[in-house]
Amino acid sequence: MKSLNIELPALPYMMEEAFKKLKINFQFVGNDTKKILITSSIPNEGKSFVAVQLWQMLAESGSKTLFLDLDMRNSVLIKRLNMEFEDENPLGIDYYLSGQCEYEDVIYKTNVEHGDFIPCINLLENPTSLIEDHRFEELLDRLSKEYRYIIIDSAPLVAAADANVIATMSDGAVFVVRNEYTSRKLIRTSIQQLEQIHCKLLGVVLNRESVSSKSYGKYGYYGYDGYYGGDREDK
């Protein structure tokens, strides 16, 4: 297996504790819940950050966990995580779904113990047709046999059809909401979308809530209040 080095930021204590609580709850979702979609209503709500942190914590707890970057329209994780590839010409999910390489070519062992990664190398204008192709469903089935968890980062629900298609093939979804950013109407609409396609809602993460707040509301978790590197886009 090829290797990939990832730089992960150190979290403030209270933020780390919030993610630990999220990780603990995931250990009770049931053995059949493996393919987990992390999404949001619109861009800049922090879904990619939540996805990466959850992937890292589940892997470091001893569960064999894979991160699948399916935000093929707007992924910025290569830059944000300062990825260093073993190969000069790395391959990713975009190459696999377009039939240009095979399964073994896109899975990378990382410096996170028990944590593997399938990156997105090139951005695409319309990846929906690739996600709808039988190769994607076959990929998920194979990954489900090899990993305890597959954390899937997708485009936001309202921004494109991608997340809806992925949700139909997932065992459940975590919905990320940015505090004082997303309207309640849009949140309700997004959750209804998941319900209509029979994707189980595993939980909602309230992002960028003040860590000093005594009330977490109905969402149950608070989290990210910072940025990767100098990039101030909060995906």
The token pair at 185 is 């109407």
Euclidean distance between CA atoms 40 and 19, whole angstroms: 17
CA distances to 79, 126, 146 from 97, in Å: 22, 13, 19
pLDDT at 210: 54
Residues 44-62 have pLDDT tens digits of 888 999 999 999 999 999 9
Return the percentage of the chain with pLDDT > 70, whole number: 88
Residues 136-161 have pLDDT tens digits of 999 999 999 999 999 999 999 987 89
Q: Which helix (H) or strand (E) holds 207?
A: strand 201-207
pLDDT at 118: 98
pLDDT above 60: residue 76:
yes
Is the C-alpha dihedral spanning 202, 203, 207, 213 positive or negative? Answer: negative
The token pair at 15 is 């933020």
pLDDT above 80: residue 69:
yes
| Residue 209 pLDDT level (bands cut at 50, 70, 90) | low
Residues 171-186 have pLDDT tens digits of 999 999 988 788 889 9
Euclidean distance between CA atoms 33 and 42, whole angstroms: 25
CA distances to 3, 110, 126, 174, 223 from 6, in Å: 10, 7, 27, 23, 21
73 and 162 in contact (C-beta within 8 Å)? yes
Return the percentage of the chain with pLDDT > 90, whole number: 66
Residues 6-48 have pLDDT tens digits of 999 888 888 888 888 888 887 788 888 999 999 999 888 889 9
Q: pTM for the whole thing? A: 0.87
Residues 189-207 have pLDDT tens digits of 999 999 999 999 998 888 7
Overall average pLDDT of the 82-102 stretch: 95
